């Protein structure tokens, strides 16, 4: 583990110095954090969050368009188009999920878009009763968003031929309606969050203090929370059985019904995490102010930031060795999934203990008990 | 130099004095009876006879694995009560999860053929009403909860509830998550009960129990040795390596999992795990050495210290639930989940063992607490004041 750069150590040293020197004004040297937090906020907002939302919104409307087309004409080309659009949007979603902040948090954006596994019984019950509220009822988080589309597009039947026959059958018109309802809910909630980002951009980047509600504190906490929960736990830990007495839970793989895509989704998520940490603009490697540069400034070296990036890179290497299909990977050799979990956990320690301590940001969430 | 000289002088003087004293003593010298050699525990829980291990607790491992498997089934939609009761009472009918590895499948198959059962070992030494109550959690889950996954749970209505934090619980009409209730109840009713009132009691390790090792071959054990190991097996039966269990890995879903938590640095009682492990070790060594005093002392340590895990966690989950309840916006899924764990630990209190050899809370006292938790609409109704008061009652005994 990386040795902690304890801020109290600096304080202690400073106190020590203050006793030994005659001029008390020297005390402030090196103590005050003069890093311009606004630079990070601007870079992250303007070059990562807003462009990612822009791209995501486009991908979602393309998905919606394809679903509407499929609702009109059920043929194999249109079905495949929906499936392709679904995956394209799901990939970009991996760049969005970590920003569970302000409006997104308020409207349970993340929960509604990507709570998995989806509940087949809840979905089918909603469809057969036609009585459901996707917006206000928490219990419907498992019956909407990408995982529900995964089920509706890949999980109803074993292959596309059968899926197409299913949707062509008038008896199943309610399923088609539900498909449209789910996508339209995804579009509208994304619009709400996306618009809020555009409106609140200035307030957000100007909130530069170091308090529980200031922008960088929330952003950093959300980033680490996502790394720990969204990436480490949900994509690897839970399906690999880390939280269920080592009993693997294949059905809890992200995109279970199209699990040949599960690896690609997790790699995209890791890419988003790395990009955010390094301050790289969305879909580019041009870097600006970031947690990385802030860390380097505070520690006056790159030891910690490099250690963190190494954990990302090592995780990526381990992921690259996995089967594209995590359900298959779990069945073949689950220990490789657990290895990824463990490697990501090493990253969690650096982020949650060392990074937060150096930046003097307090953690705003508590660990679940794990069971 | 001077110091040493003084010391030597002092030494010589004392020898002379001692010699004088013995000279004054006219009576026959008393030859002290040779003291029994002090029992020495091995570094780790390894006991052998002619080079082969005499430690065996496979039956306990099987039952712990059965508990974990059954615990997992209490997440499934539309399970039948008959299936769950077969697993519990007959020790058969276990199936692997979808997509389990070949290794996991084989392990589950082995359970079905193990000949072990949970039902007849649950609350075996407790009040007769407890075992049916625990079996009842299985039936209730199958009949009331598992067909109701699509129903939004509310007071008096079983179903699913998803909290703001994203946790989904499947609960009965009182807000109880029965998989948690079941597993935490077994921590007392199976593990604690079997260890404290079964295998580490006078009936199983008392002086009348066979402990004659003469004529035993390599790897063979006496009855008493085996009973002691079986008690140990309920605690550590799922650890990968018993020699490392002074700091338990916490494998499994029952006692060992919480022993790890409670014993960790900064938690309720750091080092408790090592204390229990050491007592198991020394007690077993005492049995081999035929030292009944040390054996019984260590058994008392194991039983009273194990009880502390249950006391700590019962109080912990009740306090946690009280805090969750007081939050500005209550996450009911987390609240129900934690309180369901608390309920099981409270039920377990009646199987604890205190210095006087009885449980810290009687069956009647526990029954009163459980009734308070279940009253009316149960967890939907309970207040943080009631929860805190109950926690305080438990903390008073820690």
Query: Over the stretch B325-355, which tens digit does the pLDDT of each residue have?
Result: 999 889 999 999 999 999 999 999 999 999 9
- CA pair distance B396, A50, nearest whole angstrom: 56
pLDDT digits (tens, 9 = 90+) for B212-252: 999 999 999 999 999 999 999 999 999 999 999 999 999 99
Which of B70, B78, B95, B99 is the best residue to mutate to test the A interface, defined by the most A CB atoms within 10 Å of its own CB?
B99
Domain stop point among A163, A186, A208: A208
- Nearest Cβ partner for B162 among A121, A141, A246: A141
Nearest CB neighbour to B253, from listed A142, A245, A334: A245
A232 and A197 fall within a common domain: no
On the question of pLDDT at B93 being above 60, the answer is: yes
Predicted pLDDT at A256? 97
Q: CB burial class (10 A; 0-12, 13-18, 19+) of residue A363?
A: middle
- Residue A268 lies inside a defined structural domain of this protein: yes
- Positive or negative torsion for Cα A160, A166, A167, A169: positive
Across the interface, which of B77, B100, B162 has its CB nearest the CB of A248?
B100
Q: What residue spans define the domains of chain B?
A: 53-395
* Span B44-78, pLDDT tens digits: 999 999 999 999 999 999 999 999 999 999 999 99
A235 Cβ contact list (under 8 Å, min separation 6): A254, A262, A265, A266, A269
In the numeric block, the tokens 């590895």 are attached to B101
- Does residue A111 belong to the interface with chain B, where contact is any CB pair within 8 Å? yes
Let me know whether A302 and A288 are in one domain: yes
Tokens in use for B140? 């209730």
- How far is residue B163's CA from residue B135's CA, in Å, rounded to a whole number? 28
Is there a domain that residue A109 lies in? yes
For residues B366-379, give the mean pLDDT.
98
Nearest to A240 by CA among A310, A120, A154, A326: A326
**A200 and A227 co-located in one domain:** no
**Cβ-Cβ contacts under 8 Å for B175 (sequence gap 6 or more):** B153, B155, B332, B336, B339, B340, B377, B378, B379, B380
Indicate the residue of A115, A141, A250 with minimum beta-carbon distance to B99: A250
> Quick one: pLDDT at residue B30?
63
The beta-strand segments (E) located in chain B are 48-49, 52-53, 159-162, 168-171
Task: Write b or e for each residue in B119-132: b if 16 or more Cβ atoms lie within 10 A of its Cβ, otherwise e.
Answer: bebbbebbeeebbe
Gap between the Cα atoms of A46 and A279, Å rounded: 11
Same domain, A59 and A141: yes
Question: Considering the domain boundaries, does residue A20 fall inside one?
Answer: no
A288 lies in the same domain as A325: yes
H or E element, residue B83: helix B81-85
Q: What is the DSSP letter of B361?
A: S
**Quick check: A196 and A66 in contact, CB under 8 A?**
no
Written as one string, the DSSP assignment of A326-351 is HHHHHHHHHHHHHHHHHHHHHHHHII
- Closest to A358 measured CA to CA, from A312, A291, A307: A291
How much is the pLDDT for A122? 94
* Domain stops at, among A150, A179, A208: A208
Backbone angles phi, psi at B156, to 5 degrees: 85, -5
For chain A, say whether B166 makes contact (Cβ under 8 Å). yes
* CA B258/CA A371 separation, integer angstroms: 11
Q: How confident is the model at residue B101 (pLDDT cuts 50, 70, 90)?
A: confident
Beta carbons of A247 and B98 less than 8 Å apart: no
Q: Determine the structural domain holding residue A340 and report its residue range.
A: 211-371
Distance between CA A191 and CA A162 in Å, rounded?
Answer: 34
Instruction: Tell me how long chain A is.
Output: 371
Instruction: Provide CB contacts within 8 A for B355, sequence distance 6+.
Output: B300, B304
* Nearest C-alpha neighbor of A366 from the set B99, B334, B195: B334
SS3 content of chain A, % helix, strand, coil (to 5): 70, 0, 30
pLDDT at B51 (0 to 100):
95
Q: What is the pTM of this model?
A: 0.81
pLDDT of residue B164: 86
Residues A315, A270 contacting (CB under 8 angstroms)? yes
In sequence order, the 6+-apart residues with CB closer than 8 A to the CB of A36 are A208, A289
Please check whether residues A198 and A221 belong to one and the same domain: no
Residue of chain B with shortest Cα separation from A117: B168
How many folded domains does chain A comprise? 2
Cis status of the peptide bond prior to B66, with omega within 30 of 0: no
A297 & A229 share domain: yes
| Chain A contact for B100 (CB, 8 A cutoff) | yes
Nearest Cα of chain A lies from the Cα of B226 at a distance, in angstroms, of 27
Dihedral angle over CA of A210, A211, A217, A218, nearest 10 = -150
> What is the SS3 assignment for B256?
helix
Of chain B residues 288-307, which have a CB less than 8 A from chain A? none
Check whether residue A174 and residue A223 sit in a common domain. Answer: no
Residues from chain B that touch A108, judged by Cβ atoms under 8 A, are: 164
pLDDT at B162 over 80: yes
Q: 3-class DSSP state for residue B152?
A: strand
Residue B32 has pLDDT above 70, yes or no: no
Look at residue B25 and tell me whether its pLDDT is greater than 90. no
Residues of chain A contacting residue B68, judged by C-beta atoms under 8 Å apart: 245, 247
Are A137 and A222 contained in the same domain? no
* B136, two tokens: 């009842």
Tell me the ipTM for this assembly: 0.71
- Chain B residues 319-338 with a CB less than 8 Å from chain A: 334, 338
- How many whole angstroms from its chain centre is CA A65? 25
Least CB–CB distance from A248: residue in B99, B162, B165: B99
- Chain B partners within 8 Å of A371 (Cβ): 253, 257
Rg (CA), chain A: 23
Residues with Cβ within 8 Å of B170's Cβ and at least 6 positions away in sequence, in order, are B75, B145, B146, B148, B149, B153, B159, B160, B177, B178
Report which DSSP code applies to B78: S
Q: Which among A194, A278, A213, A202 has a CA at the least distance from the CA of A38?
A: A202
User: Is residue B23 very low, low, confident or very high in pLDDT (cuts 50, 70, 90)?
Assistant: very low
Contact list, B148 vs chain A (CB under 8 Å): none
Give the closest residue to A228 by CA, choosing from A313, A331, A353, A324. A353
Determine, yes or no, domain membership for A9. no
Nearest to A238 by CA among A221, A258, A262, A216: A262
- The reply to whether A270 falls in a domain is yes
- Mean pLDDT value of segment B162-172: 92
Q: How many CA within 13 A on the CB side of residue B260? A: 17
CB contact, 8 Å: B161 with chain A? yes
Q: Indicate the pLDDT class of residue B176, thresholds 50, 70 and 90.
A: very high
Task: Say how far apart CA A173 and CA A74 lie, in whole Å.
Answer: 11
Q: Please check whether residue B205 is in contact with residue B234, taking contact to mean a CB–CB distance below 8 angstroms.
A: no
Per the model's pLDDT, the better-predicted residue between A247 and B179 turns out to be B179
Domain boundary among A189, A208, A227: A208
Regions in chain A scoring below 70 on pLDDT: 1-32, 366-371
> Do A194 and A267 sit in the same domain of this protein?
no
Closest approach of A49 to chain B, Cα-based (Å): 23
Mutate: best of B72, B100, B186, B319, partner A, most A CBs <10 A = B100
Please tell me whether residues A150 and A264 are part of one structural domain.
Answer: no
Cβ–Cβ under 8 Å, residues A141 and A115: yes
Check CB contact under 8 Å for A245 and B68: yes
- Residues A132, A164: contact at Cβ < 8 Å? no
SS3 at position A35: coil
Mean pLDDT of chain B: 92
Q: Does A185 lie in the same domain as A64?
A: yes
Output the domain CATH number for residue A112.
Answer: 1.20.1420.20
Asked whether residue A15 is assigned to any structural domain, the reply reads: no
Residue A28 falls inside a structural domain: no
Contacts of A327 in chain B (CB under 8 A): 99
Q: Is the Cβ–Cβ distance between B153 and B131 less than 8 Å? A: no
Tokens 């009316």 — which residue? Answer: B376
CA A357, distance to chain mean position in Å, is 23
Per the listing, tokens 């198991």 go with B280
**Residue whose structure tokens are 């890995």:** B249
In a domain, A285, yes or no: yes
Nearest CA in chain A to B250: A245
Partner B contacted by A247 (CB < 8 A): yes
């Amino acid at each position: 583990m990386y040795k902690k750069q304890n801020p109290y150590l600096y304080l202690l040293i400073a106190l020590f110095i203050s006793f030994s020197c005659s001029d008390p004004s020297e005390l402030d040297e090196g103590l005050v954090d003069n890093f311009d937090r606004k630079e990070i906020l601007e870079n992250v907002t303007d070059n990562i969050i807003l462009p990612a939302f822009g791209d995501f919104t486009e991908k979602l409307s393309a998905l919606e368009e394809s679903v509407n087309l499929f609702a009109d004409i059920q043929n194999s080309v249109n079905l495949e188009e929906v499936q392709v659009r679904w995956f394209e949007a799901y990939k970009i979603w991996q760049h969005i999920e970590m920003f569970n902040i302000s409006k997104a948090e308020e409207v349970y954006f993340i929960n509604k878009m990507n709570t998995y596994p989806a509940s087949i019984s809840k979905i089918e019950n909603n469809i057969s009763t036609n009585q459901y509220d996707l917006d206000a009822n928490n219990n419907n988080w498992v019956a909407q968003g990408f995982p529900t589309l995964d089920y509706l597009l890949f999980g109803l039947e074993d292959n596309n031929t059968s899926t197409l026959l299913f949707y062509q059958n008038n008896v199943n018109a309610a399923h088609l309606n539900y498909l449209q309802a789910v996508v339209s809910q995804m579009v509208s909630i994304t619009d709400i969050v996306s618009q809020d980002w555009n409106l609140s951009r200035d307030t957000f980047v100007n909130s530069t203090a170091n308090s529980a509600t200031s922008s960088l504190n929330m952003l950093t906490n959300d980033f680490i929370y996502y790394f720990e929960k969204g990436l480490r736990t949900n994509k690897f830990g839970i399906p690999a059985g880390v939280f269920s007495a080592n009993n693997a839970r294949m059905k809890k793989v992200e995109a279970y019904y199209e699990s040949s895509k599960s690896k690609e989704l997790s790699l995209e998520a890791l890419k988003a995490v790395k990009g955010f940490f390094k301050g790289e603009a969305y879909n580019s490697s041009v870097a600006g102010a970031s947690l990385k540069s802030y860390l380097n400034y505070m520690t006056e070296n790159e030891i910690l930031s490099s250690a963190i990036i190494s954990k990302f890179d090592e995780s990526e290497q381990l992921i690259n060795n996995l089967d594209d299909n995590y359900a298959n990977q779990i069945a073949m050799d689950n220990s490789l999934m657990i290895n990824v979990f463990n490697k990501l956990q090493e990253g969690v320690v650096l982020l949650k203990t060392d990074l937060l301590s150096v930046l003097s940001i307090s953690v705003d969430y508590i660990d679940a008990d794990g069971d | 130099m001077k110091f040493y000289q003084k010391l030597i002088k002092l030494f010589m003087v004392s020898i002379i004095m001692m010699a004088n004293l013995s000279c004054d003593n006219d009576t026959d010298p008393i030859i002290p009876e040779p003291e029994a050699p002090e029992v020495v525990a091995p570094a780790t829980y390894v006991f052998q006879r002619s080079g082969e291990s005499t430690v065996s607790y496979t039956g306990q491992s099987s039952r712990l694995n059965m508990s974990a498997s059954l615990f997992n089934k209490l997440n499934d939609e539309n399970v039948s009560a008959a299936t769950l009761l077969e697993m519990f009472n007959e020790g058969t009918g276990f199936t692997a999860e979808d997509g389990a590895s070949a290794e996991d499948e084989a392990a589950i198959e082995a359970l079905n053929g193990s000949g072990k059962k949970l039902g007849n070992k649950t609350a075996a030494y407790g009040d007769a009403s407890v075992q049916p109550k625990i079996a009842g959690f299985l039936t209730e889950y199958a009949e009331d909860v598992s067909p109701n996954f699509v129903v939004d749970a509310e007071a008096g209505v079983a179903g699913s509830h998803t909290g703001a934090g994203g946790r989904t619980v499947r609960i009965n009409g009182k807000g109880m998550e029965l998989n948690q209730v079941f597993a935490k109840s077994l921590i007392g009713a199976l593990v604690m009960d079997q260890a404290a009132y079964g295998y580490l009691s006078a009936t199983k390790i008392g002086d009348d129990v066979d402990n004659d090792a003469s004529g035993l071959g390599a790897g063979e054990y006496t009855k008493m040795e085996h009973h002691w190991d079986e008690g140990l097996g309920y605690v550590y039966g799922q650890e990968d390596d018993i020699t490392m269990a002074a700091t338990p890995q916490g494998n499994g879903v029952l006692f060992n999992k919480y022993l790890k938590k409670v014993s960790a640095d900064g938690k309720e009682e750091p080092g408790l795990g090592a204390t229990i492990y050491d007592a198991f070790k020394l007690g077993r060594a005492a049995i081999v050495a035929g030292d009944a005093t040390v054996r019984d002392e260590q058994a008392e340590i194991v039983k009273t210290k194990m009880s502390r895990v249950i006391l700590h966690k019962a109080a912990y989950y009740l306090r946690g639930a009280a805090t969750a309840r007081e939050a500005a916006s209550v996450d009911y899924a987390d609240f129900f989940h934690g309180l369901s764990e608390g309920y099981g630990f409270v039920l377990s209190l009646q199987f604890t063992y205190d210095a006087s050899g009885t449980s810290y809370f009687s069956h009647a006292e526990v029954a009163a607490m459980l009734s308070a938790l279940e009253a009316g609409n149960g967890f939907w109704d309970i207040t943080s004041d009631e929860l805190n008061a109950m926690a305080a009652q438990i903390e008073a005994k820690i």
